[in-house]
């Protein structure tokens, strides 16, 4: 990390735009100047403060479009095919929501629908629209609003939890019936990986800087 230490009196004389506070230990320090592919960590607790990604706009746009293309097959293609006593069933994420609703658990079905389909889709759309605002340099105020909402939605998107549930079900069912993995499972895993990579690629300080300055280019 570039040297950003300064005495408290010196920090008090700096404008807020040149200061940064650690999200973990609240240490106040001078914001470091970073080059491409450099990151800055807190000298007290080691928490990653900011990271400067190269070509953040292009990478993020490619990942956002990839994730959106994977969304429909991940949720509507069969995750697994179960053959038990001569009867074959195919399960998808959507069919799981419908099954919960028909079983008399509408609240649980609503939560699963919200966390596994609605929120992840809204997150991807927010990310895509923010990146397009930066790319085309239009509606930056709307881009800032969408990016704030994206950070609120992050706590509700739980694809990794749903994937763990799928994997646990596969482990339990594999000895009870003839189980075949479907293309939907691989699309779901690819969607999860694309979303994780997208969140890592969209460096927050670069996105905020681009949204605040109409001439900034990440």
Which residues, 6+ apart, have CB-to-CB distance to 184 below 8 Å?
73, 74, 75, 76, 77, 78, 79, 92, 93
Residue 165, pLDDT > 90, answer: no
The contacts of residue 126 (CB under 8 Å, 6+ apart) are: 146, 147, 149, 150, 153
The stretch 119-130 carries a mean pLDDT of: 94
Alpha-carbon Rg of the chain, whole angstroms? 22
Residue 8 in this model has a pLDDT that exceeds 90:
no
* Tens-place pLDDT, residues 99-120: 889 999 999 899 889 888 999 9
Distance CA 208, CA 203 (A): 9
- What percent of the chain is modeled with pLDDT above 70? 88
How confident is the model at residue 9, as a pLDDT? Answer: 59
In sequence order, what are the beta bridge partners of 30? 19
- Which residues lie closer than 8 Å to 94 by C-beta, 6 or more apart? 75, 76, 117
**Nearest CA among 105, 93, 72, 107 for reference residue 161:** 93
The lowest-confidence range among 27-36, 67-76, 124-133, 183-192 is 27-36
**pLDDT digit string, tens, across residues 60-79:** 999 999 999 999 999 999 98
Give residue 218's pLDDT band: very low, low, confident or very high (50, 70, 90).
Answer: very low
Whole-angstrom Cα distance, residue 142 to residue 138? Answer: 9
Which pTM does this prediction carry? 0.79
b/e per residue 15-24 (b: at least 16 CB within 10 A)? eeeeebebee
């Amino acid at each position: 990390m570039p040297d950003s230490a300064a005495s408290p009196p010196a920090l008090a004389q700096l404008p807020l735009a040149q200061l940064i506070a650690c999200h973990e230990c609240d240490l106040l320090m001078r914001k470091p100047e970073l080059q491409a592919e450099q990151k800055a960590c807190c000298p007290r607790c080691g928490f990653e403060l900011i990271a400067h990604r190269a070509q953040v706009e292009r990478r993020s746009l490619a990942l956002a479009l990839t994730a959106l293309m994977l969304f429909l097959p991940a949720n509507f293609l069969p995750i697994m095919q179960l053959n038990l006593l001569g009867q074959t069933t195919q399960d998808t994420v959507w069919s799981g929501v419908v099954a919960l609703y028909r079983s008399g658990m509408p609240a649980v079905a609503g939560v699963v629908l919200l966390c596994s389909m609605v929120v992840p889709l809204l997150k991807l759309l927010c990310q895509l629209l923010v990146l397009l605002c930066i790319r085309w340099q239009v509606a930056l105020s709307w881009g800032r609003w969408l990016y704030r909402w994206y950070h609120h939605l992050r706590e509700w998107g739980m694809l990794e939890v749903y994937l763990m549930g799928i994997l646990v079900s596969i482990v339990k069912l594999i000895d009870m019936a003839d189980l075949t993995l479907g293309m939907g499972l691989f699309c779901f895993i690819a969607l999860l990986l694309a979303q994780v990579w997208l969140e890592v690629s969209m460096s927050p300080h670069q996105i905020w800087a681009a949204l605040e300055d109409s001439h900034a280019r990440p």
